[in-house]
Amino acid sequence: MPNDTSQTLQITPVIMAGGSGTRLWPLSRAGYPKQFLVLDASNKSLFQQAVRRMALVSGAQLAVGAPIIVGNEEHRFLMLDQLREENVQPAAVLLEPSGRNTAPALTLAALQALEAGQDPVLLVTPADQTATDEPAFAQALARAARAAADGSIVILGVQPDRPETGYGYIRTNADGDTPTVARFVEKPDVDTAKRYLAEGGYAWNSGLFVLRASTWMAALERFRPDIAGATRIAFAARKLDGPFVRPGAEAFAAVPSESVDYAVMEKCPGALPIRMVPLAAGWNDLGAWDAVWQVAVKDAQGNARHGDALMHEAHNTLVHATSRLVSVVGLDNVVVVETPDAVLVADRSRSQEVKKIVNQLGEQQRGEHELHRKVHRPWGWYDSIDSGSRFQVKRILVKPGASLSLQKHHHRAEHWIVVSGTAEVTCGERKVLLTENQSTYIPLGEVHRLANPGKVPLEIIEVQSGSYLGEDDIVRFEDTYGRAPKG
């Protein structure tokens, strides 16, 4: 489509929120990955920051619409809660039934955008990056959007300031506001990265793409028609549930798994118009703990700290404490991350290797791979504060107006003590209201439900006792959130 500056350019942000963030363990877990974490003083998660940055894009003849979110089924209420905190109503939340990498995810977003009968320019961003200069970021995206209006593919490239081996690189043909991309380069070794930095003409691949929805579909049909066709089938079989759009699960599982880069971008130079807009906005993909240290506020010794941390004779070290005092003496270039159920101590220069620990956790099927001790649910959260062979103690918070499922357990009984708020308790045929310091008992096998009818959060202490206390000992009869009958 020609770039007609007399007409308003319709823009749709696309937030790709399906990553796992394994290299930021133990803070990032499969059930609560890094894009939903708060890692800086902004008190906003990386996902919320991404949504905010997209909304800042503005300019003459630019109309930025509601974002399309692409994420995992298990994170759906987490995404909605964080969007609600930002007062953002999404155009759609596309829920991937299974992980098929970023090319199918972007294809779902493009098909959703084209459903409205328009062909907007898509601002495609991962949900797990940061930028310290948001106005400069928004200006670069606006420039990229105008460049993409004529059907070009535009990628944002970051000027390297060090020989980084954790990023892919972009080689451009010439200088200017939007130079042509000559080729994409895989993550280099240290010597090659040093050469790129010395030669110039190379930029880090930010993973930020700007292009029309139809441009993506045409490029995908050209280079990977198998992905395009299979994703179309899955999208055609979608089901709608409020803001949620669920592609057909069986059809989506048959979609080839591939990244945007491998499927299309790396094939474009010399075949399709692809350009780069330079990005100078304090960008970082926070791919590992070393990157978190790089963007953090540091003291005179180069140390960065979060939470209750004391340091003596330490230099260029990161301490992230979440639940207790962490003290460090005489350590240089180290990362220390503390959570209630795990502690990481690592050489900062080797923080990329944290994923090796995560792999071991997965192989051993340990709970620290999947969830934190504090587990978020659509109705609130629970924190498993103590446990033994036949008991478990949980602290539970239920949001105002929310309720747990109507359920029963085969192997455990439960005692509930209200700490604050009002609890509506269903136990068999009986329904009662409990307030602060009151308690009740749920016998083994009894159908029950906990709800918060009030306008303030409900907090209770739950004491479980029985022969088996696993989370899979739940039989659901009714559930507000559409979760499976069992589990």
Cα–Cα distance measured from residue 16 to residue 127, given in angstroms and rounded to the nearest whole number: 6
Q: What is the DSSP string of 158-179?
A: EPPSS--SSS-EEEESS-SSSP
pLDDT digits (tens, 9 = 90+) for 323-371: 999 999 999 999 999 999 999 999 999 998 999 999 999 999 998 988 8
pLDDT digits (tens, 9 = 90+) for 272-304: 999 999 999 999 988 899 999 998 999 999 999
pLDDT given at position 485: 59
Say if strands 423-427 and 62-64 run parallel, antiparallel, or are unpaired: unpaired
pLDDT digits (tens, 9 = 90+) for 181-228: 999 998 888 999 999 999 888 999 999 999 999 999 999 999 999 999
Indicate if the alpha-carbon torsion angle 105, 128, 50, 160 is positive or negative: negative
In 60-129, the DSSP E strands lie at 62-64, 68-72, 92-96, 121-126
pLDDT given at position 457: 97
As annotated, the residues of the chain forming the CATH 3.90.550.10 domain(s) are 9-284
As annotated, the residues of the chain forming the CATH 2.60.120.10 domain(s) are 374-478
Regions of the chain short of the pLDDT cut 70: 1-6, 175, 484-487
Please state, in angstroms and as integers, the Cα–Cα distance from residue 161 to each residue in 110, 203, 277, 284, 293, following that order: 34, 10, 17, 12, 16
Cα–Cα distance measured from residue 232 to residue 173, given in angstroms and rounded to the nearest whole number: 35
Q: What is the DSSP letter of 388?
A: -
Residue 359 in 3-state DSSP? helix
pLDDT given at position 3: 46
Q: Give the closest residue to 144 by CA, choosing from 122, 117, 169.
A: 122
- Beta-bridge partners for 94: 70, 245
pLDDT given at position 12: 96
Q: What CATH superfamily is the domain 374-478?
A: Jelly Rolls (2.60.120.10)
pTM higher than 0.85, yes or no? yes
pLDDT given at position 30: 86
- Beta-bridge partners for 13: 123
Q: Evaluate whether 261 touches 223 at the Cβ level (below 8 Å).
A: no
Q: Which tokens sit at 381? A: 């959260």
Sheet holding 475-478, edge to edge: 430-434, 423-427, 448-451, 406-408, 475-478
Cα–Cα distance measured from residue 219 to residue 262, given in angstroms and rounded to the nearest whole number: 12
pLDDT given at position 484: 64
Put residue 270 in one of left, alpha, beta given phi > 0 → left and psi -120 to 50 → alpha: left
Cα–Cα distance measured from residue 461 to residue 440, given in angstroms and rounded to the nearest whole number: 11
Measured in degrees and rounded to the nearest 5, phi and psi for residue 145 equal -65, -40
What dotted CATH number matches 9-284? 3.90.550.10
Q: Which residues contact 198 (CB under 8 A, 6 or more apart)?
A: none
Cα–Cα distance measured from residue 375 to residue 77, given in angstroms and rounded to the nearest whole number: 13
